[in-house]
Chain A
Amino acid sequence: MPDSDVPHPDADPSAWPSPEAAGPESSSPEASADDVPAVEASGSEEWKRVSPKYVIVEVVGSLVGTALFVAAFLVAYFLFDWWWALWAAIAVGAISLVTIAFEPRRVRSIGYRLRDDDLLFRRGIMYQRQVAVPYGRMQLVDVTRGPVARALGLADLKFVTAAAATAVSVPGLPIEDAERLRDELVALAESRRAGL
């Protein structure tokens, strides 16, 4: 799945004063509750996190992308003797490493919550985004799995509404959870079906 392999634009951590670059295991829900535009819980449900293993998917994706870029620049450097290609390779490598260092933090910022009438989704540490999708507006729910995610038993859950801009995709769910959630949401969407 190329779209899960590409480093997310959120990933630029240059200005972000990381309070805690903790590993995936310390994923307590309160840890980052202050820096995401979270709303106060109106339903009984808490924010749900995606699987900590999803960090591996992101890291592998970033590494592959970085390796390709660095290799291309190095080839350019050794074949054509373009000195700037070497600097570009170093820059890309350094940026990617910093990005990867913040990967666990970013993955922990991804959360979703099933409320009575809609699904809330949030992600991002630099560019925070929070979306509410009413169940009745879901046109289809998609489960996709990339090669790395499949090896780890994870899947992405994607929601499609009539608006292309909705773009809500919950990555890194354990496959059973993803399928259960999909069936649940489809049933909810069916019972709340509104026109367009």
Chain B
Amino acid sequence: MTAPVPPKTVTPLADGEWHRLHPASPLLRGGLVFIAVLGFVIANLRERIVDMFVFVFVPDLGDELDSNYGEWQNDWANDPVGAIVLNGQVGWALLAVAAVVIAVIVGFWLSWRMHTFRITGEAVEVRSGILFRSHRSARLDRVQGVNIARPLFARLFGTAKLDVSVAGQSGNVQLSYLASALADGLRADILRLASGARAERSKAAAPGVAGITVSVAGATDASMPVDAAGATDASVPGDVAVPGDPAGTGSPAASAHGPVSAVIGRRVDEFLAPELDPSLAPPASVVHLSVGRVIASTLLGGTTISILVFVAVIVVGIANGQSWVIFSFIPAVIGLVGYLWSRITKSLRYSIAGTPDGVRIGYGLLSTANQTIPPGRVHAVSVTQWILWRPFGWWSVKVNLAGQSMSASSEQAQRTIVLPVGSAADVGRVLALLLPESAGAVEPLVAVGLTGRGAGGGFTATPRRAAWLRPFSRRRIGWAAGSGVALFRTGALTRSLVLMPLARVQSVALSRGPVGRLLDLAAVRVHTVSGPVQVVLPVIETAEGRDLFERLAADAVTWAASDESHHWGAIARTEAPA
């Protein structure tokens, strides 16, 4: 820790050479479907196949089974299996099946051979495809976050999916799948390279490089044992390494013949280990969610209300003898219950912590995932509270991140939820992680913004006539600004406070409709990258709105010019000597 650390990477994968993925990857990516189909076919044909063996090898028993043959008939369209057997083409059929199986295996093997990735100082690159080659490259200075997902099946294989998200729709580069523990180390490598720390370090390899750089090195050291275990763990022959890569092939080969029980034991350990590696995070900053709160908050959500409504409709329908109600509503109820269940399991074992390379969020009970949001990648934050959560003082925190499209999958939607449910104190801690530069300054504003009404505490008030447009939330609506963050407070039924880092503003709009002009009211909207957070102040006095518009437009330019958080490693270096 005290000595200058040589530019050492956590894993042998980030050395700028081409590497392969985990050999089970093709199977995990698409092969499971194939196996499932195969299993289904075999399960359904089992009796037929047994019958056929009898027919082919013990023809004497034919009398007993004659009735069956009659049914088989020579009907290719309806019963190809029976026709094959009757025509004595069993050998050909078996050959065809074998050919298909071999083709699939060769295809898997080829797709594994051809699917390579490399991590250089500038970019993460992935080459894949057998006939149609594709080459994706994500520039490291555009990396918006690195996510690791471990679906249940992948966990059984001890593998994980690494997803490097970059700005832009569907611009993500996926490494699926990697050995589970290697994935963690590789993420640390990518983020460290992206932070610009490496360039800085090679430029000035002086012992004075303190601060973040050293703590990164600390994290590196801490995860080394984990990494070693991972390398051996994933050492089903082949593994991730390219021939000629000493670190990748050496240790796995040595332990490839280790006892199977040890592998299973390690897998069990992995399964039970906490999602967040405790050695990587200062424990004080971690928010812990109790199981009870997760379940209660989900049950008090809007989904439960719709389930109750549906159940009521079903009960009333049955009572009135309208049996069609069952068929039309029960599937919806099942779907909603499934959604609730997945919400709960995904929120379990939730953890959030600040690491040198960004905010690390982990969640999931069976399928686990975690993501790291590097500093300066949060484009907008919203803190919301639904009305049923109000008695408990629960809030949830969502963010807008670049590279998350609006029509995102549920997996991506999950990534924008930074805190599924938490108290106001938890919100404060999460905000301190998300907006480290300004969280301290805006803390009193946040306190007022969460529950406050009317003028005061730094927030503006909305004129009485705004009740024509916003009858319930009029007194809530207001804005405040402090330390590079604009705060928009809205919502009465669903209280909402939006924090907009001014350095991330894309553009600002002021708009006014016919009613607004009659009432001399306008709306101010700040445009950010797409996501769940809408930064809107729905009503504001026109003159004040113009001032706010001007102020936001000017501040956006000023803060963007002074913002350097996208090269956070470099900042740490320049700040450290001071």
Interface size on A, residues (CB 8 A): 30
By a CB distance below 8 angstroms, the chain B residues around A18 are none
> Are B553 and A136 interface neighbours, CB within 8 A?
no
Does B546 lie at the interface of the complex (its beta carbon under 8 Å from any beta carbon of A)? yes
Interface string of B485-508 (1 = CB under 8 A from A): 000000000000000000111111
A150 at interface by CB-CB < 8 Å: no
Q: Shortest beta-carbon distance, A104 to chain B, in Å?
A: 20
Return the chain A residue nearest B528 by Cβ. A163
Contact: B507 with A133, CB < 8 Å? yes
| Range, interface on chain B | 35 or more
CB-contact partner of A37 in B506, B514, B542, B554, under 8 A: B542
A137 in the interface (beta carbon within 8 A): yes
Cβ-based interface call for B109 (8 A): no
**Interface flags, A141-180, vs B, CB<8A=1, else 0:** 0000000000000000000011111101000000000000
Question: Contact check: which of A15, A39, A127, A163 meets B507 at CB < 8 Å?
Answer: A163
Residue B199 is within 8 A (CB to CB) of chain A in the complex: no
Which B residues are CB-close (under 8 A) to A37?
Answer: 510, 512, 522, 542, 545-546
Q: Is B527 an interface residue, CB under 8 A from the partner? A: yes
> Scoring A residues 78 to 119 as 1 if CB is less than 8 Å from chain B, else 0, what string do you get?
000000000000000000000000000000000000000110
Q: Which of B144, B508, B553, B566 has the most CB of A within 10 A?
A: B553
| B506 with A166: CB separation less than 8 A | yes
- In the complex, how many angstroms separate the beta carbon of A10 from the nearest chain B beta carbon? 10
Given A137-B560, A196-B167, verify A131-B509 contact (CB < 8 Å).
yes
CB-defined contacts of A165 to chain B, threshold 8 Å: 509, 525, 527, 530
Residue in A117, A124, A132, A136 whose beta carbon sits within 8 Å of that of B508 in the complex: A132
Q: How far is the CA of A132 from the CA of B503 in the complex (A)?
A: 15
Among the listed B142, B514, B530, B561, which residue makes an inter-chain contact with A164, where contact means beta carbons less than 8 Å apart?
Answer: B530
Please judge, given known A-B contacts A162-B529, A195-B566, whether A134 and B557 are in contact too, CB under 8 Å.
yes
Answer whether residue A130 sits at the interface, using C-beta atoms and an 8 A cutoff.
Answer: yes
Write the nearest CB–CB distance from A135 to chain B, whole angstroms.
8
- Which of these, B509, B528, B553, contacts A134 with CB under 8 Å? B553
Which residue of chain B has the shortest Cβ distance to A161 in the bound complex?
B506
Q: What are the residues of chain A within 8 A of B124 when measuring CB–CB?
A: none
- Assess whether B556 is interfacial by the CB under 8 Å rule: yes
Whole-angstrom distance between the alpha carbons of A115 and B546 in the complex? 16
- Which residues on A sit within 8 Å (CB–CB) of B506? 133, 137, 161-163, 166
Most chain A beta carbons < 10 A, residue from B376, B505, B506: B506
Instruction: Say which residue of A127, A161, A162 sits within 8 Å of B513 (CB atoms).
Output: A127
In the bound complex, residues from chain B placing their C-beta under 8 Å from that of A42 are 550
A134, B505: Cβ atoms under 8 Å?
yes
What residues make up the interface of A, taking CB atoms closer than 8 Å to B?
A: 15-16, 37, 39, 42, 117-118, 124, 126-134, 136-137, 161-166, 168, 192, 194-196
Additional A-B contact list (19), CB under 8 Å, known A128-B513, A130-B509, A166-B507: A15-B514, A16-B514, A37-B542, A37-B546, A39-B549, A42-B550, A118-B553, A124-B511, A129-B511, A131-B509, A132-B507, A132-B556, A134-B505, A137-B560, A161-B507, A163-B528, A192-B557, A194-B561, A196-B144
25 A-B residue pairs with CB within 8 Å: A37-B512, A37-B545, A118-B556, A128-B512, A128-B513, A130-B509, A130-B511, A130-B549, A131-B508, A131-B509, A132-B556, A134-B557, A137-B560, A162-B402, A162-B529, A163-B529, A164-B406, A164-B530, A165-B509, A165-B530, A166-B507, A192-B557, A194-B503, A195-B566, A196-B142
